[in-house]
């Protein structure tokens, strides 16, 4: 299993809580050097409760530039894709709303979102 590892500049905890909410809930874990919640996140993970999958990540004090990659999530239906894409687009950009595949697979399709943290999500059935 491949698991995306996302890097943030001080916003890892906010981002992972945002992702957990967008995907309808998740179990989040945050590890820091000590118990001070204002310290950067050394390691984080969120396991989504409604859909199979998880993401991991951390904070860095270096500038973060996201380029040349996207996170692809396979979801059960168009309705779920539309619901999650709206949530992920809050503060970001809905690049492409749900677009059906050509016949005979027109019941399948996908959407693309650039979230407020700079990550591109491909949501697909």
Map out the domains of the chain as residue ranges: 1-62, 69-125
Give CA separation, 107 vs 50, 58, 81, 97, in Å.
22, 37, 12, 15
Would the pLDDT of 105 be above 90? no
Q: What is the pTM of this model?
A: 0.91
- 111 or 27, which is more confident? 111
Would the pLDDT of 122 be above 90? yes
Chain centroid, CA 105 distance in Å: 26
Would the pLDDT of 57 be above 90? yes
For 1-62, CATH gives 3.30.720.100
- Fold match between domain 1-62 and domain 69-125: no
Per-residue pLDDT band at 26 (split at 50, 70, 90): confident
Chain centroid, CA 7 distance in Å: 12
Alpha-carbon gap, residue 45 to 111, rounded angstroms: 24
Segment 30-36 mean pLDDT:
89
- In the chain, count H helices and then E strands: 2, 8
Would the pLDDT of 83 be above 80? yes
Superfamily of domain 69-125: 2,3-Dihydroxybiphenyl 1,2-Dioxygenase, domain 1 (3.10.180.10)
């Amino acid at each position: 299993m491949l698991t995306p590892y996302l890097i943030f500049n001080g916003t890892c905890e906010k981002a992972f809580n945002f992702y957990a909410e967008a995907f309808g809930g998740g179990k989040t874990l945050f590890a820091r050097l000590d118990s001070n919640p204002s310290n950067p996140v050394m390691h984080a993970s969120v396991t989504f409760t409604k859909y199979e999958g998880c993401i991991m990540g951390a904070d860095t004090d270096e500038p973060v530039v996201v380029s040349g990659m996207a996170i692809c999530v396979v979801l059960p239906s168009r309705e779920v894709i539309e619901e999650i894409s709206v949530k992920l687009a809050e503060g970001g950009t809905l690049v492409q709303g749900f677009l059906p595949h050509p016949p005979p697979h027109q019941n399948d399709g996908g959407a693309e979102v650039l979230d407020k943290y700079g990550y591109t999500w491909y949501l697909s059935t």
